[in-house]
Structure 1
Amino acid sequence: MMTLDLFFFLVAGPAVVFAGISKGGFGSGAAFAAASILALVVEPGLALGVMLPLLMLIDLSALKPYWGKWSLPDVKLLALGGVPGVALGAALYSVASPDVFRLLIGGVSVGFVLWQVARRSGLLRIAARRMPDWAGAVIGVTVGFTTFVSHAGGPPAALFLLTRGLSKTQYQASTVLLFWILNIMKFVPYAFLGMFTVQTFTANLVLAPFALLGTWLGVRAHALVPERLFFGLTYVLLLVTGSKLIWDGLT
């Protein structure tokens, strides 16, 4: 049971605004931090259930400014692989305990930070050579799975898209379209698995304006705010929330 008290909304409001800023202006990679934050105060399944309709609203509002600017062939490849990935995530959720999902969400959060630090410091280099089409479909499985269990499909998607020679705006538009498609795919299994409740619906109604505000800010921040500043703050947030979720899952 989720308690919709003042504390919940004090945590959820800024988290949802942050998700909108990330998806609206910075390639969706860090939007899943909102689910990580909510999973600290409610059961992970409910945190994911609260966030999915809000992420779908953010996707919808971000489609217009980026309409037609995406790389449709690349999006198709990742979305195709995302189908079995989503199915794997649904199968796991049906048998796993909440602590397993705390560990998954926390592990993905910390792993995202380590991956980004390694990439930016030069310890990990993404191949400059363009990945073949079949690699997009294979990576798409990971994208589908991670977006189902933690709304965190951005990092594996980036692994493929960053080798495809896309401009900053093409990359941003492609992630908006990809996760709009994948989030629609996730909606039905989320409903069947009981991740939507009266409480999550009520929370969605209250938090929808926060999602729209975040998207509006993100679209405008796309050209104004340095990515280094935005992601630096994101890494600290994810490292703290991810570590706490891992601790909670283990103890």
Structure 2
Amino acid sequence: MRAGQRPAERLGGVRRRLTVAEGRPAPDDGGAPRRRLVTGAYGVLGGFTTMVANAGGPVMALYFLASNFSINRFLGTAAWFFLAVNLAKTPFSVSLGLITADSLRLDLVLAPAVVLGALAGRLLARRFDQQLFERLVMSLTVVSAVYLLVW
């Protein structure tokens, strides 16, 4: 880090190098305040829709697509985001009676299927072309959003 350089500036340089290494154009740092506002809005909307209707997937998928995330970055960021949001809403879910001893027993029974699904997803993600992945995510996002609005 150069003298007088702030950590945020250093991270911007890392992001720029990673983006270029992924074969994408480097981001223009001139729009950082606007980008923070948009990112924050997506985060709040994703967290809100997850808490209210467990429906944050479409919102966050659109954000990740707009951010030009690679497949691995898309999947990893989504996993971490929803882990954090779900951990934050756990006390509320318990107090509302949404998480009970019976639901935890069902979770325990279904845990092996989750592990198998994660392993299968990891194998599939390696085989997907970026453009096909983005089209598939966009299509499924539209389908799920329409379903949520109609249901």
TM range (shorter): 0.5 to 0.7
Q: In the alignment, which residue of structure 2 is the partner of 1:227?
A: 133
| Paired AA for residue 215 in structure 1 | A
Q: Which has the larger radius of gyration?
A: 2
Q: In the alignment, which residue of structure 1 is the partner of 2:43?
A: 140
From 154, 169, 188, the equivalent of 2:72 is 169
Secondary structure, counterpart of 1:181 in structure 2? helix
Q: Deviations over 1:5-37 (max 9, x none)?
A: xxxxxxxxxxxxxxxxxxxxxxxxxxxxxxxxx
Q: How many residues align?
A: 119
Q: Is the 8 A contact 2:93 2:99 kept in 1?
A: yes
Q: Is the 8 A contact 1:142 1:153 kept in 2?
A: yes
Q: Is the 8 A contact 2:58 2:144 kept in 1?
A: no
Identity %: 26
Q: Is the 8 A contact 1:135 1:160 kept in 2?
A: no
Q: CA RMSD in A?
A: 3.6
Question: Residue 213 in 1 paired to residue 119 in 2?
Answer: no
Instruction: State the distance in 2 between where 1:133 and 1:219 align.
Output: 30
Structure 2 segments unaligned to the other structure (5+ residues): 1-10, 13-27
| Paired AA for residue 143 in structure 1 | G
Question: Residue 158 in 1 paired to residue 58 in 2?
Answer: no
Give the number of the structure with larger relative contact order, counting CA–CA contacts within 8 Å between residues 6 or more apart.
1
Higher helix share: 2
From 102, 108, 113, the equivalent of 1:199 is 102
Cα 1:213–1:152 shift into 2, 3 Å: same
TM-score (norm 2): 0.61
Q: Is the 8 A contact 2:62 2:138 kept in 1?
A: no
Instruction: State the distance in 2 between where 1:239 and 1:146 align.
Output: 12
